Structure 1
């Protein structure tokens, strides 16, 4: 079995792994400016998508051009989230060369879609493939690929810790080789109860002091997690941006949620914002909590809310996830200023980072890989793939970090 890394090698974004030039695992995009896509030309016989985040599924519609449609295998939530992301990408970039697909391609993707549940084996491009719950977001999966001689486990993104939205992964299917993500290979997450407690205290204190809290959050996963935390602690909140549609989508897939009733309750606790007639500007003047896209401050309604509250230290910007190098969110954390709609603005409001990560940390990665100590491990999806692979080798693993475009023989 040969695997080629077309994206996500030594980086976070545009994940894509090609197996024997036939089976494509993920086909994402990196939301940089301009967006970045996997390298090389591909014409797969079939595609399997691990989960519905932009960096894993964002470029899949570009595979739906002329000719036969490759079947696209995924869970039902991943299918629905992928279509939502594709429509949003068309809205943002569809009239520019930055977008590699059209509305027709998105329609063709619905025709190519083949949904599966966890643990259900199926044939794809001549391989036996099985999806296992990955504990990252609803519908996220580890992908096991079996050609009859070699069993390859593609971890996708996964979490071994507690979240309110989904259960932690416990799946450790037998495999001969593992492609393992490494986003937090150099970090340990704070205890989730402590993160929640500090987050809720910050929200309450800011509102009590007469301030406004803006919670930039990824539309898929993080918005719903923040909503669940607010509802569990009786904190009123507004929700704005794509996270509204995603929440409604996930409620329709209760079997992929840890507690479907809790998410329905969190949706009832929140007030949706439609953004018309200056509504956002008025809400920004209230003593309230606003959960809004985008999570890294590179678009969405956050472009209105953060500038509106930036001028007073009583207000708070409560970031809830990893801020990629080069994004406005990362710049704001490091310098206290960032670019908003082309304007470089200083932010006097308090800026905080709360680690609601949906990825395994250093200990979680080692716990997962302990089941594969005598197997080949290929490290991807991280800023420090090489150093993590070196650490694993020191501990006796057969580990390496493939480079972008590299082909590995298993």
Structure 2
């Protein structure tokens, strides 16, 4: 089995790996400024997608330009999320470098999609031969999958992004299929988090304290997964809330009958949706909500823009108010600047924020302990570390623990892997 790394190696973003120049695993984009895409054009015979985040699916419609029509295999929620994200990218950036595809290519995506459930093997025929593939629940976001690829000689486990601890929406991964080679993410290889229930309780207590003191809480949250997690926490702790931005559409998408079986507890999300009030964005509505003694869950998670940047200016001057960030803030983003300096770029100017600012790590990725616990089942396998800021360091740490581990770089080609 030959592997070519087109993105996501020693970095986070634009994940893409090509097997035997025929089978493509993920084809994402890095949504930075400027955006980055996988390093070369490819014409695969088939595509397999691990989950519906932009850094794994953002460039997929571009594969359908010209005469190419490779089948694309994914779970139902991943397909639905990919379509939602692609439509959003088109509406915001269509016709620019920030959007690598057209409306016509997006329409073709519906024609080549093939959806599969967990632990239901399927075969893919390519010019390089036949592969048997199986999806396993990765516990990252709804519909996320580990991908097991078997060419008859080598079993490759592509972990995708995964979590080993239960979240509100999905249970932590328990799948440990036999594999000769493991391509493992390493996003939080240097982080150890407190137990999830402790973090959720501290978050809810903080929000309640602000509400009791007469303040307003703005909770910037990623639309896919994080918004719904926060809504479930609010429902569990009797906190009324508003929800704004793309997270509204994602919540409804997860509750579609065809996606409910991918949820840990569909009734929990249904109750959480019922507990929330959805904002429709009418003129003046957001400013009125910002004056209320309430919780507002809204995109974007790193304060790049979106409805959050309507609410934050409205509450920033009063110390009784609070901004509760719910995920990692990438260096250089407004959210990171706010956490580190107490100021944020607002309407083109860096402005001080008197409201309280807190950060909570509700990551959907395994932390260091989770990664090591997962890999313990693969001490006899070849481990390839990717999707992280310190892939080489983590591979070195694994080698010190007796693993056969390395960290390929973007552009690397590995031949006869697993033999």
- TM-score category, normalised to shorter length: over 0.9
Matched, 1:26 2:14: no
TM-score with structure 2 length normalisation? 0.96
Select which of 153, 159, 174 maps to 1:155.
159
- Kindly indicate whether the alpha-carbon contact (under 8 Å) linking 1:190 and 1:355 is maintained by their aligned counterparts in 2: no
The residue aligned with 1:88 is: 88
- Name whichever of 171-180 and 314-323 sits farther off: 314-323
Measured after TM superposition, the shift of residue 61 of structure 1 is 0.8
Matched, 1:79 2:79: yes
Structure 2 alignment gaps of length 5 or more? none
**Aligned mates of 1:110, 1:341 — CA distance in 2:** 39
The residue aligned with 2:117 is: 117
Matched, 1:396 2:407: no
The residue aligned with 2:206 is: 202
Measured after TM superposition, the shift of residue 96 of structure 1 is 1.8
Measured after TM superposition, the shift of residue 395 of structure 1 is 0.4
Task: Write out aligned runs for 1:124-203 (5 A).
Answer: 124=124, 125=126, 126-203=130-207
**Aligned mates of 1:380, 1:67 — CA distance in 2:** 32
- Kindly indicate whether the alpha-carbon contact (under 8 Å) linking 1:11 and 1:380 is maintained by their aligned counterparts in 2: yes
Matched, 1:375 2:375: no
Matched, 1:286 2:319: no
Select which of 260, 267, 276 maps to 1:270.
276
**Aligned mates of 2:97, 2:195 — CA distance in 1:** 44
Select which of 254, 258, 261 maps to 2:260.
254
- Kindly indicate whether the alpha-carbon contact (under 8 Å) linking 2:15 and 2:387 is maintained by their aligned counterparts in 1: yes
Change in 2 beyond 3 A, CA 1:6/1:342? farther
Aligned residue pairs, count: 410
The residue aligned with 1:304 is: 310
Change in 2 beyond 3 A, CA 1:101/1:340? farther
Task: Write out aligned runs for 1:329-348 (5 A).
Answer: 329-348=335-354
**Aligned mates of 1:407, 1:340 — CA distance in 2:** 44
- Name whichever of 189-198 and 390-399 sits farther off: 189-198
Measured after TM superposition, the shift of residue 341 of structure 1 is 4.6
**Aligned mates of 2:249, 2:215 — CA distance in 1:** 28
**Aligned mates of 1:77, 1:317 — CA distance in 2:** 30
Q: What SS does structure 1 have at the residue aligned with 2:319?
A: coil
How big is each residue's C-alpha offset from its partner over 1:322-381, in whole Å with a ceiling of 9 and x where there is no partner? Answer: 112222112211222222353322222111111111110000000100010111101011
- Kindly indicate whether the alpha-carbon contact (under 8 Å) linking 2:226 and 2:326 is maintained by their aligned counterparts in 1: yes
How big is each residue's C-alpha offset from its partner over 1:106-145, in whole Å with a ceiling of 9 and x where there is no partner? Answer: 1111111100000111122321111000000110000011
- Kindly indicate whether the alpha-carbon contact (under 8 Å) linking 1:15 and 1:28 is maintained by their aligned counterparts in 2: yes
Q: Which runs of 4+ in 1 moved over 4 A?
A: none
**Aligned mates of 2:41, 2:104 — CA distance in 1:** 20
Measured after TM superposition, the shift of residue 100 of structure 1 is 0.8
Change in 2 beyond 3 A, CA 1:93/1:340? farther
**Aligned mates of 2:77, 2:357 — CA distance in 1:** 33
**Aligned mates of 2:346, 2:72 — CA distance in 1:** 37
CA RMSD, aligned part only? 1.0
- Kindly indicate whether the alpha-carbon contact (under 8 Å) linking 2:337 and 2:344 is maintained by their aligned counterparts in 1: yes
The residue aligned with 2:58 is: 58
TM-score with structure 1 length normalisation? 0.98
How big is each residue's C-alpha offset from its partner over 1:58-108, in whole Å with a ceiling of 9 and x where there is no partner? Answer: 111111111031101000000000000001111121132221101111111
Q: What SS does structure 2 have at the residue aligned with 1:179?
A: strand
Matched, 1:67 2:71: no
**Aligned mates of 1:400, 1:28 — CA distance in 2:** 22
**Aligned mates of 1:134, 1:331 — CA distance in 2:** 32
